[in-house]
Amino acid sequence: MVTQEQITFYKTIDYIANTHHETPLENFSGKAIPVNLFLMGISQILGKKQIIMGEPGFGKTTGAKIISSLFSRIPYDILDSCTIEGHPEVTQEKIVGRPHLGKLLKEGQEHVVWKAGLYLPTIIVDEFNRLPPSKQTLLLQGLDTGTWNYLDCTLRTGKKSVFLTMNHADNGNNTVLPPMLDRFHIVTEEQWHSSFGTLTALAMEGSKSQLECPQLTNEFFQQIQTGRADMEKLVGTIQRSYENQLTQRKIPFLSDTVITALRDGIKKQQVNVKANPALGIRAYEDTNLFWQCIDAEFNLSNQCGTRRRSDLVSTDSHDKAYASTQVKNALSKRAMRESIYDYSKAFSYLIGEPHVSIATMKFIASYCLAHRLEFTPDCVSEYKGKTRTKMESLYIAEQLLEGIFERYTKSIEPIKGEIAKIRNKDKDAIEKMKKDSTTFGDHPLLVDLKRAAKEPENPFYQQYLGQR
C-alpha cells in the first residue's frame, strides 16, 4: 500500500522533472523511473553524500540546488549563494571561515566567522575535481563528520546531505583522493539523452525563479552580517517561512514530518522474505546472500587472504574467476553497509516493492561502486569499445555485478538452505561443509564460510569475564 508520504515524494519529484530539471526515465522492473532524481531524493532523505558527474552545462549543480531546495526547504538563491566553488587556488577562508577581526582587535579573542553554507541542511560543492589533493583534504573531515576546524576553533554541525559535482576528466581536473571517494555513497551522471530533452530544457529556462525568495535571502545574509545570529534558529526560521511561500505558490515539498515518515518506512523495509515452510527454503529470495557475495568477491583473495590496494592483482587460478582480480582496491564496509544496503532499501521502498529484491540490489549497487572501484587495465581493456549508454565506470560496474549474480545463481542459490543452517551454527551442516568440497566449492563466499568455521568462537579472556 502506497503511503501519503510516498505520494508527496512522487509529487515533488514529478514537479522537478516537469518544471525545472528534465531527466530521462529508465525502465526498471516494468516501471518507468526518473532514476537520477530518485537517487538524489534518497540522498536528501537519508542525509547521504552523492557525486554527480557529467559534461559541463548539463545541469549537475542546478539539479542539486533544486532538489535540495524542495527537500530541505531552503530558498534556491540561498543555496546558490552558499555553494562552494571548486577552484585550484581556493583558500580555506573561502571554504570554511575567516577570523573575526573585530573581536581580535577589540577583545584580543580568537573567534571565527564560519561560512554560512556550513549551517545549511545540504552542502553543495561545484566542480570538486578542480581542487588539487591538498585542497581536497580541507573538506575531507568536514564533509564526512560535520566537524569543521579553523585556527584553534571547531564547529560541529553534524552529518548532513552533500552533493559534489564533477566534470568528466579533462585538462583542468585533478585526481580525487580515494578516501574522499569512499566517503561518498553514490554516483550518478547527468548527460544528454535526446534533442527533444534539449528542447524541453530550453522551455524550462528561468523556472528556478519560482524557487527563489529574495526577501528571505536578504534577511538571511543580513542576520549573518550582524555577527550575532543564532544560526540554527535562523535556518529554522528561514525553513518555516519558505514552507509558507511554497504552499502559497502550490509547489510540493517534503516537510520534516514527511521525511521522518519516509525514513521510518525505509528502515522497516525488509531485505529478505521469510521462508514459507510449506514451500521449502528455496522458495524465497535471499538478497542478503547476494549482498554477501558482492562483499566476498571484491574483498577475498586466495593468494593474499584479503584484497589490498598495495598488493599486486592475484595470479591465483581460483581468484581469476572472480571480481577481485578486476579491480586494484578493496571494497569498504562503508560501501557495503551505508551505500549498497541503505540505498537498496530506500529505492525498493520508494518504487513499492514488498521487499528488497536481488534485481534492485544489483541495479543500485552499480551506482554505489562505479566511483569507488579502480579497475585494472585488463578489465578496462575488456570493455573498451563496447556499445553503452552510461559512463564507462558505471557500465563496467554493471558488468562486474552481472558476473557476480551469475556466479551467485550457479554456486550459492542452490545451496542457500545449507548455508542458512550454517549461519544458525548447525553442527551437522558445518561438518558437511568441511568434508563436501563438491557442493561447497571455491566461491569466495563459501571459502569465507569455511574459514569462519575454523576460527575460535571466543577470545581467551572471556573465561575471566564469566561469558563463556
State pTM to two decimals. 0.93
pLDDT on residue 282? 41
Q: How far apart are the first and last CA of the chain?
A: 46
pLDDT on residue 279? 42
pLDDT on residue 165? 97
Instruction: Please report, as a single letter, which amino acid is at residue 149.
Output: N
Instruction: Please report, as a single letter, which amino acid is at residue 318.
Output: H
213-222, 270-279, 322-331: segment of lowest average pLDDT: 270-279
Which residues, listed in sequence order, are joined to residue 54 by a DSSP beta bridge? 167, 190
**pLDDT beyond 90 at 63:** yes
**pLDDT beyond 50 at 56:** yes
The radius of gyration of the chain's CA atoms, rounded to the nearest angstrom, is 25
Of residues 316 and 79, the one with the higher pLDDT is 79
Q: What angle do CA 288, 404, 279 make, to 5 degrees?
A: 45
Mean pLDDT of 147-164: 93
Q: What is the 3-state secondary structure (H, E, C) of 158-212?
A: CCCEEEEEEECCCCCCCCCCHHHHHHCCEEEEECCCCHHHHHHHHHCCCHHHHHC
pLDDT on residue 349? 96
Spatial distance between the Cα atoms of 163 and 65, rounded to a whole number of angstroms:
9
Give the sign of the dihedral formed by CA 377, CA 383, CA 388, CA 393: negative
pLDDT on residue 202? 64
The predicted-structure confidence for 91-116, as pLDDT tens digits, reads as follows: 888 889 888 765 655 665 678 888 99
The predicted-structure confidence for 385-438, as pLDDT tens digits, reads as follows: 899 999 999 999 999 999 999 999 999 998 888 888 887 888 888 888 877 777
The predicted-structure confidence for 23-37, as pLDDT tens digits, reads as follows: 889 999 899 999 999
pLDDT on residue 324? 93
pLDDT on residue 281? 40
Q: Is 248 exposed, middle or buried (0-12, 13-18, 19+ CB in 10 A)?
A: exposed
**pLDDT beyond 60 at 467:** no
Domain residue spans of the chain: 4-268, 281-454
Instruction: Please report, as a single letter, which amino acid is at residue 389.
Output: T
* Residue 226 pLDDT class (50, 70, 90 cuts): confident
Spatial distance between the Cα atoms of 251 and 465, rounded to a whole number of angstroms:
60
**Residue in the structure block whose three cell numbers are 564533477:** 166
Spatial distance between the Cα atoms of 311 and 288, rounded to a whole number of angstroms:
29
Of residues 318 and 127, the one with the higher pLDDT is 127
The predicted-structure confidence for 239-289, as pLDDT tens digits, reads as follows: 999 999 999 999 999 999 999 999 999 999 988 765 444 444 443 468 999
The predicted-structure confidence for 436-466, as pLDDT tens digits, reads as follows: 777 778 899 998 888 888 888 788 888 888 6
Spatial distance between the Cα atoms of 9 and 351, rounded to a whole number of angstroms:
11
| Cβ count within 10 A of residue 441 | 14
Q: Is 435 exposed, middle or buried (0-12, 13-18, 19+ CB in 10 A)?
A: exposed
4-268 under CATH 3.10.129.10, yes or no: no
3-class secondary structure, 150:
strand
Query: pLDDT over 70 for what percent of the chain?
Result: 93
Q: Are 455 and 434 in contact (CB under 8 A)?
A: no
Q: Are 46 and 346 in contact (CB under 8 A)?
A: yes
Could you tell me where the DSSP H helices lie in 281-357? 287-299, 333, 342-350
Spatial distance between the Cα atoms of 319 and 316, rounded to a whole number of angstroms:
5
Of residues 174 and 106, the one with the higher pLDDT is 174
Instruction: Please report, as a single letter, which amino acid is at residue 349.
Output: Y
